[in-house]
Structure 1
């Protein structure tokens, strides 16, 4: 038995070792993935090197990442990361291909690169540099810098580091990218130049907040569904108080659901309708909470007058009160939204 266990342990160790060796063999020693370029379209040479864009890349500077052949060209030439394809223009976050010869002629292909000794040289983005265009964008929402503006001055270093002058922030290639942009020179003329795009910190904070809101809402919705299921499954919980509580949880669930849909802009096609439905369930949740409070007060107080007023079927009376008042207030809101002449008096559903 001991020998069997030893064989199993040795087998596991050997498997892990093989996986580790396979991983390290595929990577380039001392090279970050964001310093590599996809050279799978290049020509393989007999000595193991690759010919890519008129440059011979030695075999020891190549590696395989996720079944793609990458090369660490930063050791040979400066790498720059583009947001889109090689000859695309970026506008409002979208990439557009340069289609006309006039646009190609108007394109300024040079970048100012600061060397290690502090000197600045102009380099052609295509002929004298390697362009990384296969990497995803650093972030969804980005803004460009116009070097003609005082607050938009920047420095692009030989190793790919980007320095923004106004706040002294240094960015690596994971946090910025470059792309052609159409600048207005005068009222009648335009020129195309390579502009850096940085991630918008405010939008990034909003995206993080949106993600956490989504996580919290989804957890809340799951917990509400579990609570409703428990109350529906156990007969002892389906008393008058339990029925009122189920209605409260259903109203709260629907209100949170429409908040979640609105957070991800999934209600754009029926925005006004979604606004009124969400409003109805929010009001209904408060109404059922009031009904539960009234019922608890009557249970402990033992009020005969209110019990007699509600009649034998108290749940029907509670439902009429909670759902009816919710419909009534939603109807009033709808009429005000349609009839009120001044915009400041309207609830502005969907606006």
Structure 2
């Protein structure tokens, strides 16, 4: 019985292979003509006004994906070689539709202006005229590749080839298509050229590098998010670690975690087209907010070393409210500025931020992303320099007061303050240097090993923060004590930190010499 079934299967496969033909042209040069009318006299098929002889069509059972390499098996259907009969031009969207979504070139919607197109055509005598394309060409449809870019300087030859500016190499409908989109200002159809990026040889290797790089960065960001959450939990559940500066650090960490989580989610799962532009603005906002909060607790440290600054006289609650205005209000104004430049001001394409151009993030990344970050980093280093000079001055003042009885206490308080200060300054140095290196490597070469290294270091910033702020004896001891308290084993020797802070505060009030007049 089993042998009979095998034989039947073999016979069916033989019959199937006999019934199906080999397509007499490239798949991208053909269209589905299954619904055409078969002519009785010579077995030809008439479809949309064109007659396909028996040598110009075939019954096949596959379709090729966009890149033209992967094949999917489907039910048998008839496909005709239209480009062997009439010169072809390829439309990115099906005839009768237009691309109406600026953020996604694959979204095509029915439109009454999607049936007739005009473009410059170079005739045999090299005369150029704007003519209706359907008069001379047949249409085939679909974007023929996965990686494309826009090219507006083009003309169509009488053979259906694409001539681009001063370039000698001509394109065909196998590596380009005409993108028909509706201009929102004129309500007319803009016919732009989408050109395939060929990924062969070195270009293919670069694409593979790009894919692998994103996988590595996503993994590093995931590690960062885990350690950022661990750091946040430590500060939330251990009250002794909480003060104004750590509240600022928490805001910074939340912004950083949101930024990394968004990048991981979108690069892994994608997003609907309508979310592209809002996502771009929100991602930029979260990154900018993180750097603005770095400014905040640098400024707060600088204020902490001042004797007569109005911020010093404010309550911590009021100061934190003002910091909230700067930490989130500043990025809001920056995003508003980017939105205005992108949507209301008439700028050349290379000068606009470019979020609405379908990139789902700032396209002009140097001027509208790295430049604001560079400015905030410069401000951080100015505060770093001022604080360092202040500590040096205080040390000199302490040395001059060694004869006083409280000299030893003064030195202890300064050391405690200096310890905390150095901890935060390390964060500024580490985060700042990594981003500066990234900006420099971006200016040099996006595919350089330095660019990959700085990307990895940036993506692991959550791990570095965890090591800087959590992995030390004092914090680990407090975590242990908190854990024991939660388990009902409270310890009795956990007041040394708060006592030292109290002594430091009293000491700063008793000794005005610690501030520069």
Larger helix percent: 2
TM-score calculated relative to the size of structure 2? 0.36
User: If each structure's strand is expressed as a fraction of its own residues, which one has the higher value?
Assistant: 1
TM-score, length basis structure 1: 0.49
